[in-house]
Amino acid sequence: MKPAKLNDTQYLPWHPESWINYRLIQQPEYPNQSHLFESLHILNSAETLVTEEEILLNRHYISEAAKGNIFVLQAGDCAETFDSCQYGDVIQRVTHLQDLSEIIQNILKKPVVTIGRIAGQYAKPRSEEFEIQNGFELPSYRGDIINNIEFKKNKRVPEPKRLLEAFENSKLTLNWIRKYFHENNIAFKNSRFFTSHEALLLNYESCLTRKSKISDNWFNYGAHYLWLGERTRDLNSAHIEYLRGISNPIGIKIGPKSNAQELIDIIKILNPNHIPGKINLITRIGANKVCDVLTKIIVSVNKAKTPVTWSCDPMHGNSFKTQNGIKTRDFESIFKELMDTYSLHNELGSILAGIHLELTHLNVTECLGGQKSNVTENNLLLNYQTYCDPRLNKEQSLELIHKFAKKIN
């Protein structure tokens, strides 16, 4: 393994697979390497799903958001599933996101750019290697691109053919989204709708990474926007090495243990030329800690004089397990982190330009609270469907967005 210190990474040449020399975590161990290479070989020549123009337009909107001219709504499922890759389902997800954006747009009287966690959000980082149910232990579910959620030994084995299925499903999803806008007489570019997923599975991401035909830049053509997760964000990570080479806008998740100086070093690596709209910092601290932790981070980043666009993910810092062991989040904590983050930015002279939510158009009972839904610990299992983290349901997400936009207006 090569040393990957800041100074070294600046000088080592990048290519779509240079991450192989860096600290690599959260990757599946495929039992059959030749099947893996077959899948990767096919993906290497697979068609592109998004265009360079769209990616740069998304980046431009994110840069405008940093100035307060646009608001960013990034949202969708924690883990998108292959089962939900159906025309009706995709359109319902997209229309719900567009409805939420329209609410913000009407209240704030500024355009909203919608970045779906959609058309490829199939890989999940896991805090626990194993999952225990009724005394039995199996490897964790890692997203449909890797293994099957069913709690059976053979279903949890990583399968390389899922890489191809994920690609085909992403392609179908994106085609349906394009068709939907087309049928509603909205040019895709005017929809201000973009796709995103976590850049987790680096084998997959590097296959979809190609050099531009019109410039010297590299792009990931599998999604408009990619993000760096909290668990793969250390300075020596293979994930940072991969992401530093692409020109797509990049989200960086920032958890409660983040170190301000390390974050600034990461931003320097990912955006050495200070391109506006390139870096979207997504803070996900937790309602109880946000004031303590975020102040230092905001002050340091503001001092660093490099352009960033700030978003708040009020979901991931507020997860907890109920007494019955069910993973959930409470509407009030989610709203509190959002408002406290907004106020902190105001005090410190930066702008909260976007929010990042896990939500669904379905009437699920995964998060607690909400005035209309009023989900309680007792009825949490009535319609608990998520494959990974708990999502706000339709009413909860409408309520949160409405309440938030009204407050900051």
**Annotation: binding site for Mn(2+):** 78, 316, 358, 389
- Judged by beta carbon, residue 125 or residue 369, the one nearer ligand PEP is 125
The residues with which 138 forms a beta bridge, in sequence order, are 131
Does 253 interact with ligand PEP (rule: CB under 6 A)?
A: yes
Q: Classify residue 12 as exposed, middle or buried by CB count within 10 Å of its CB (0-12, 13-18, 19+).
A: middle
- Judged by beta carbon, residue 55 or residue 72, the one nearer Mn ion is 72
| Contact flags string 56-95 toward Mn ion, x per CB under 5 A | ----------------------x-----------------
Rounded to whole angstroms, the Cα distance separating 76 from 116 reads 6
CB of 204 to ligand PEP, least distance (A): 17
Cβ-based neighbours of 378, under 8 Å, separated by 6 or more = none
Interface pick for ligand PEP out of 284, 361, 391, 394 (rule CB under 6 A): 284
The residues with which 253 forms a beta bridge, in sequence order, are 282
- With contacts defined by CB under 6 A, name the span among 28-36, 158-166, 167-175, 223-231 that binds ligand PEP: 223-231
The DSSP letter of residue 320 is E
Helices 260-270 and 290-304: angle between axes, nearest 10 degrees? 40
CB of 67 to ligand PEP, least distance (A): 25
Does 230 interact with ligand PEP (rule: CB under 6 A)?
A: yes
Does 123 interact with Mn ion (rule: CB under 5 A)?
A: no
Q: How, if at all, do strands 225-228 and 193-198 pair? A: parallel
Annotation: binding site for phosphoenolpyruvate: 117, 230-231, 253, 284
Rounded to whole angstroms, the Cα distance separating 357 from 345 reads 19
- Judged by beta carbon, residue 244 or residue 253, the one nearer ligand PEP is 253
CB of 8 to ligand PEP, least distance (A): 26
Total interface residues for Mn ion by CB under 5 A: 2
| Contact flags string 45-84 toward ligand PEP, x per CB under 6 A | ---------------------------------x------
Rounded to whole angstroms, the Cα distance separating 22 from 407 reads 44
CB of 254 to ligand PEP, least distance (A): 8
Task: Copy the structure tokens of residue 304.
Answer: 């660093």
Give yes or no for a contact between 245 and 20, defined as CB atoms under 8 angstroms apart.
no
Annotation: binding site: 78, 117, 230-231, 253, 284, 316, 358, 389
CB of 315 to ligand PEP, least distance (A): 8
Tell me which long-range contacts 182-187 makes (C-beta under 8 A, separation of at least 24). Answer: none
Interface pick for ligand PEP out of 316, 329, 361, 391 (rule CB under 6 A): 316
| Residue 229: strand, helix, or coil | coil
- Judged by beta carbon, residue 16 or residue 317, the one nearer ligand PEP is 317
Rounded to whole angstroms, the Cα distance separating 93 from 71 reads 19
3-class secondary structure per residue, 147-185: CCCCCCHHHHCCCCHHHHHHHHHHHHHHHHHHHHHHHCC
Residues interacting with ligand PEP, by CB under 6 A? Answer: 78, 125, 229-231, 253, 284, 316, 389
